[in-house]
Amino acid sequence: MGTPKPALLSDPEITIALATLPEWTRDGAAITRTVQAPSFPAGIELVRKVAVAAEAADHHPDIDIRWRTLRFTLSTHSAGGLTGRDTALAHKIDEILG
């Protein structure tokens, strides 16, 4: 049978979730956060820490690295939009980024 796909969040649920994730913004069927690292190596170290957390959660963000600018994008592709898995990982990324 396979694993059931996670339930999509409703628009009100997304609004409530984003209220607890002030650094994140909605971008269609995804949420994003952009951060500036103090240096390129520091940015890569942040990405490494996020990668460890993402692997542990078995849920992986899209990550765009432009020198010191990091952009994290979360969406549950198998569900076709935002789920609780995305908001949970966003909170974990916020912990890592400080």
Enumerate residues 6+ apart whose C-beta is below 8 A from 83.
Answer: 6, 7, 8, 9, 76
> What's the structural domain count of the chain?
1
pLDDT at 22: 97
Q: Which tens digits make up the pLDDT trace of 31-42? A: 999 999 999 999
On whether residue 11 sits in a domain, the answer given is no
Host domain of residue 75: 29-97
Q: Output the domain CATH number for residue 35.
A: 3.30.1360.20
pLDDT at 61: 97
pLDDT at 75: 97
pLDDT, the chain, mean: 95
On whether residue 7 sits in a domain, the answer given is no
Would you place residue 6 in the very low, low, confident or very high pLDDT band (cuts 50, 70, 90)?
confident
Q: Assess whether pLDDT exceeds 80 at residue 49.
A: yes
Q: Assess whether pLDDT exceeds 90 at residue 25.
A: yes
DSSP helix/strand/coil, 90 = helix
On whether residue 59 sits in a domain, the answer given is yes
**Which one-letter amino acid corresponds to residue 28?**
G
pLDDT at 1: 58
On whether residue 6 sits in a domain, the answer given is no
On whether residue 42 sits in a domain, the answer given is yes
